[in-house]
Structure 1
Amino acid sequence: MSVDDRVREDAPVRQAAEIAQPTAGERGWILPMLVLVAGMFMSILDTTIVNVAVVDIQRDFGATTDQVQWIATAYTLAEGVVVPVSAWLGLRFGMKRVYNIALVLFAAGSVLCGLAWSLDSLIVFRVVQAIPGGVLPAVTLTMVYALVPKDKIGQAMAVYGLGVIFAPALGPVVGGYLVEYVDWRLIFFINLPIGVLGALAAVVVLPSFDTERAGKFDLWGFAAIATSLGALLLALEEGSAWGWTSGPIVTLFAISILSLALFVVIELEVDEPLLDVRVFLTWQYTNSLLLIAIQVAGLFAVVFYVLLFLQQAQGLGAFEAGLMLLPQALAMAVVMPVAGLLYDRIGPRWLAVTGLAISAYGTFLMHDLTVDTSRTTVVWLLVLRAVGLGLAMMPIMGGGVAAVPPHLVPAASAYNNVVQRASQAFGLAVLTAFMTNWQASLLSGRAALVPAGAPAVGPAAEQAMLQTYQLYARTQTQVFVDALDQLMLVTSALTAVGIVLALFLRSGPSGSDGPAVMMH
């Protein structure tokens, strides 16, 4: 039986439920929506806020760069592995209960991170923090589609998007300030009051959700997808350090692919799959995941390397560099509500096409960055990209999940978050590999610029050595900027590919069908 046939068979049951119970629109969804996004915002903010503290943590704990990198790697691995089980947890224990528990546990894990006495303890506590951190966004997205009528989903997804896009952009600003002017431990401690207040607000404001009961836990399916994601994320995180063609990395990729294939086979065979892979039979949803992957990969890679450009090439501090990303975050905050209103009227297609075109053009303009490019120009180019992302991201995500049958929304939400995590890591890893190769090639081509045959001793030798060092440093900076320009061209081309895919999205409003999951 096809997915569409199953939806038609289930329609009378859903219609009866909708008649018997109030809809989300009648109960009001705006305040619960804000409470949900506030909690999710905290967990997503933590994916980037820690990045600016790495140097200070390394110094305090006397760790090497490779060792301290595991603060981020451990979090990414644990978060990615736990996301697939979020849908089952929501069905088994109730989405509201899982959300509240995850929020409190995330705050508790954050406090433990702030109290860490060594690098090893911090890495362990980051894993503890990542487990509820991976559950929160997936459960939140499921509840959004339970709370909001379909004819208002664009407006709701605009608010939801503040967590998905605005939080990562705000992370370097908040983290940079706390690290530079207070203490790096505060980036963890600030989650405690937010988590406690968020959980209390959720208890008071959020309704309970009636969903289908969860079946038996699919242990083998979970083991397969967890192995696949864990191997993939570890390979992407460590590929540059270990070598992309090294035995361990190739083995990890092979394990990831084979485990993913095994997961698909298991999910098609078991009576109660952990995550129903039949959700991918809905082309609108599958297409939206491809577009999300393109956008997320470009977003995080560009933000990462622009921060490096501002600090390494233009000499800004962590807080100053992070502050220059704030205008793009504000631009998204302004554009997203407009995109949400338009989505409810015209659907996702033309918003996505327009947004991706603007984003591709803004990224293309950034391929002319130089060491002397004014900071005002950098800010305006980032704002232009942000306008495009703000127009496109939420219509793409909203249109995709809205296209799946209601009983598959939890699985769709989980897959959505898996793709976001994987594409963030994949995009940064692949583009970093390109950057490294371009820099090596450019640097070898300019080796002749470094003078040879300098005096061996005396003041003249010292002066020559100083000049050589300064020339080498300038050359390295110029090579980095040239490679960054090439990165912008590749990212722009990748975004342009997304324009073609966006043409296959739905055009026109989705209608008012009521919420996907009923409340009481």
Structure 2
Amino acid sequence: MSIGIFLCMLDTTVMNVALPTIQTSLNVKLNNLSWALNIYTILFATLTIPLGKIAERLGINKTYISGLIIFIVGSTFSALTKTLPNLILGRALQSIGAAIVFPLSMSIGIASTDLATRKKVIAILGIIQGLAAALGPVIGGVLTQFLSWRWIFIINIPLSIISFSICLSTLELHETPKKEPIDFWGSLLSMISLFSLTLSLVQGRTWGWVSVRIISLLTFFAITLVLFIIHENKTKYPMIPLELFKNREFTGSAITIVLSNLFLVAVTVVLPTYFVKIQNKTELEAALLITPITGMIFIFSPLAAILIDKLGSRAVIATGFLLMTISFILFATINMNNLALVIITCLILGIGYGIIAGPITVLAASDFKGSLLNASQSVAGVLRQIGISLAIAIYVTGLYGNLVTAKHNSVKYIKSEVATLNIPQLKKQAVIDKSIYSLSHSANGSSEKHFTSNERELLIHKNYENALLSQPTSLPKRAKVKIYSQVQAKVDKRLNNLNKQINLTITKIKSFATNEYGKAFTKLYKYSIIFVALSILTSLLFPRKKNKTSY
């Protein structure tokens, strides 16, 4: 079950770092390619709860194996594709498989353990979810750098086959399915509502947040959500038992899951993009720089799950969000070129999230048993996806918006600085064009010499001809040679001075642009600090002391 959950959550973020490489390989526009990323998030969030309920009717174990097969087919299709439409189709199949595998992994894992070990199992499965989402960019970067972007999908195949083999040998396939009727209207309304929400979140930047399409989607989401709540309150067999949200611990856990994943993915997705696009690092280097986050999640998640019984849920959740707040303050203020400080900040973020991720899945389930226990885990999984979608919508949109502003400011600065140079207008335009090109293509800069040998020879010839005009027509050849040498030396001295001026200007431009593009990143976290800090208040939703967990 752990393998299934790991792969489902891994594929929510594994593509992000590899997007530029995939774009080049398939020769497509980035906006179009983003659908291969977004389709997974949209369908995963939309189908998880309905497919989980349908599986209870058909047989959980058999449906789980079917989900693994669909996931394997989707991964194979994605790995072998040579066109964008086929990649999107492969990712869609992956997401359908994941929407089956993810909730059923939780259900099977919980059902296969006794009451004494159930709490540990839920904690482990919850830790795996957070760890996989954080590891996505790291694994994606390593595979893309050393093998190929196709390996981010190929790696799913052997792991899924291993899980498939284990399931065939351990799961009872002749099970007695539930005879409860499927909540058709609840399923339909929940799918429409979640589809509208996630689609608006992932496409907001592309379509425009105040565009007719986005406003219509959000309006549709609100309407269908209200209808869903009304229907679920009346139906005998609800898709999502709303009594879950009457439980204080579950409500606190639900909000915490969304916020903690929102703030985690805000860094694990955006930071590698910043390193690759702004600091010109390789995908591997970018991936390795965020591994401290993953390492701390791995270490502190199980520790927090143990400590929560002693310290209480309030103290643990508040501490986690406090550390995440500190990390955001540091991201907003440190010099991003100081990698030691970046790594320290990542460590703090990983510790903060790990402290939350360890116990939160257990807290969400602590007061439930039976069908309510399974429902709580399915809802928690969807909320985690919503948190990830929100992070991509807010922070990727914010980053690209800030990058546009940074480029605009840099271009304006380039033109003003180049205008002060005492060089021909055509040469000014060439310097401007070259500097602007370097902004868009992450070029390292210009050469020290900015005048070609032909330009030098023409300038020497022109000045030599002008010098001869003031000389007698019968000037001896030796005198002409001397004049030519003097003109040549004077031109070379002038060009040397102009090259120094241009290089000095380019250095100033680089420094200004680096600062502007750095602010494009740090602004995101500067404006987020207050919201991360306010998340500490979610700890007040939990009881003062941790209740003894019961199932």
TM-score (norm 2): 0.80
* CA contact 1:151–1:511 (8 Å) conserved in 2: no
Q: CA deviation at 1:459?
A: 4.5
Paired residues of 2:3 and 2:163 also in contact (CA < 8 A): yes
Query: What count of residue pairs does the alignment treat as equivalent?
Result: 478
- Residue of structure 2 equivalent to 1:479: 516
Which AA in structure 1 matches 2:134? A
**Residue type matched to 1:196 in 2?**
I
Cα deviation, residue 439, structure 1: 5.2
- Are 1:269 and 2:234 counterparts? yes
Kindly indicate whether the alpha-carbon contact (under 8 Å) linking 2:250 and 2:364 is maintained by their aligned counterparts in 1: yes
Q: Is the 8 A contact 1:155 1:341 kept in 2?
A: no
Q: Is the 8 A contact 1:225 1:260 kept in 2?
A: yes
Q: Please say if residues 64 and 101 of structure 2, whose CA atoms lie closer than 8 Å, have aligned partners that are also in contact.
A: yes
* Counterpart position of 2:50: 85
Distance in 2 of aligned mates of 1:468 and 1:405: 61
Instruction: Determine if contact 1:150/1:510 at 8 Å carries over to the other structure.
Output: no
Report the equivalent of 1:388. 352
1:415-494 residue pairs with structure 2 within 5 A?
415-436=379-400, 438=402, 449-452=413-416, 453=419, 457-459=425-427, 461-463=429-431, 465-466=433-434, 475-494=512-531
Match of 1:49 among 9, 14, 29: 14
Q: Which amino acid aligns with 1:130?
A: S
Q: Deviations over 1:130-157 (max 9, x none)?
A: 1011222222233344345566555334
- Given candidates 382, 388, 408, the residue that maps to 2:372 is 408
Name the CA distance, whole Å, in 2 between partners of 1:356 and 1:371: 22
Partner residue, 1:67? 32
Deviation at 1:215, TM superposition (A): 1.6
Contact 2:251 2:541 in 1 (8 A): no
- Residue in structure 2 matched with residue 120 of structure 1 by the alignment: 85
SS state at 1:215 partner? coil
How far is 1:414 from its partner?
1.9
Q: Partner residue of 1:216? A: 181
Letter in 2 for 1:505: F
Question: CA 1:178/1:141 → structure 2, altered by over 3 Å: closer, same or farther?
Answer: same
**Distance of 1:465 and 1:437 partners within structure 2:** 22
Look up the equivalent residue of 1:378 and give its one-letter code. Answer: V
Q: 1:381-417: CA deviations, max 9, x gaps?
A: 1011111111112322311222235331222222111
- Secondary structure, counterpart of 1:51 in structure 2: coil
CA distance in 2, matches of 1:209, 1:420: 32
Q: What amino acid is the match of 1:480? A: Y
Verify the 8 A CA contact 2:248 2:541 in the aligned structure 1: no
Partner Cα distance (2:549, 2:254) in 1: 24
* DSSP-derived class of the 1:217 partner: coil
The one of 290, 293, 300 equivalent to 1:335 is 300
What are structure 2's unaligned runs of at least 5 residues? Answer: 438-505
| Uncovered stretches (5+) of structure 1, i.e. residues with no partner | 1-35
Aligned AA (1:389):
Y
Tell me how far 1:451 sits from its aligned partner. Answer: 3.6
Preserved contact between residue 175 and residue 187 of structure 1 (Cα < 8 Å): yes
Q: 1:181 to 1:432 in 2, by over 3 A?
A: closer
Alpha-carbon contact 1:102-1:136 (below 8 Å) kept: yes
Q: How does 1:321-400 map to 2 (within 5 A)?
A: 321-372=286-337, 374-400=338-364
Does the 8 A contact of 2:320 with 2:352 survive in 1?
A: yes
Bigger shift: 439-448 or 308-317? 439-448
Whether the aligned pair in 2 keeps the contact of 1:312 and 1:477 (CA below 8 Å) is no
Structure 2 counterpart of 1:224, one-letter code: L
In structure 1, the partner of 2:501 is none
Partner of 1:495: 532
Structure 2 vs 1, CA of residues 401 and 489 (structure 1 numbering), >3 Å: closer, same or farther?
farther
Distance in 1 (CA, whole Å) between partners of 2:435 and 2:79 is: 44
State how far apart, in whole Å, the 1-side matches of 2:255 and 2:435 are: 50
Call closer, same or farther: CA 1:339–1:451 in 2, change over 3 Å. Answer: same
The counterpart of 1:246, out of the listed 204, 211, 223, is 211
Instruction: Find the aligned partners of 1:464 and 1:300 in 2 and give their Cα distance.
Output: 37
Query: Could you tell me the percent identity over the aligned residues?
Result: 22
Looking at structure 1, the residues matched to 386 and 432 of structure 2 have their Cα atoms a distance apart, in angstroms, of: 48
Change (3 A) 1:351 1:466: same
Q: CA deviation at 1:425?
A: 0.9
1:140 aligns with 2:105: yes
Which whole-Å CA distance do the structure 2 matches of 1:59 and 1:443 have between them? 23
For the pair shown, which has the larger CA radius of gyration, 1 or 2?
Answer: 2
**In 1: Cα distance, 2:346 partner to 2:179 partner:** 44
Q: How far has the Cα of 1:127 moved from its partner?
A: 0.7
The 5 Å alignment of 1:142-157 reads 142-148=107-113, 152=117, 155-157=120-122
| Contact map agreement 2:403 2:517 (CA 8 A) in 1 | yes
How far apart are 1:472 and its partner, in Å? 5.8
Could you tell me how far 1:348 is from its partner in structure 2?
Answer: 2.4
Give the counterpart letter for 2:388 in structure 1.
Answer: Q
Asked if 2 retains the 8 angstrom alpha-carbon contact of 1:149 and 1:512, the reply is: no
- Taking CA–CA contacts closer than 8 Å with sequence separation of 6 or more, which of the two structures ends up with the larger relative contact order? 1
CA contact (8 A) 1:41 1:162 kept: no
Equivalent-residue separation in structure 1 for 2:526 and 2:24 (angstroms): 36
| Inter-CA distance 434–57: structure 2 relative to 1 (3 Å threshold) | closer
TM superposition shift of 1:184:
1.8
Q: Which residue number corresponds to residue 27 of structure 1?
A: none
d(CA) in 1 for partners of 2:289 and 2:406? 28
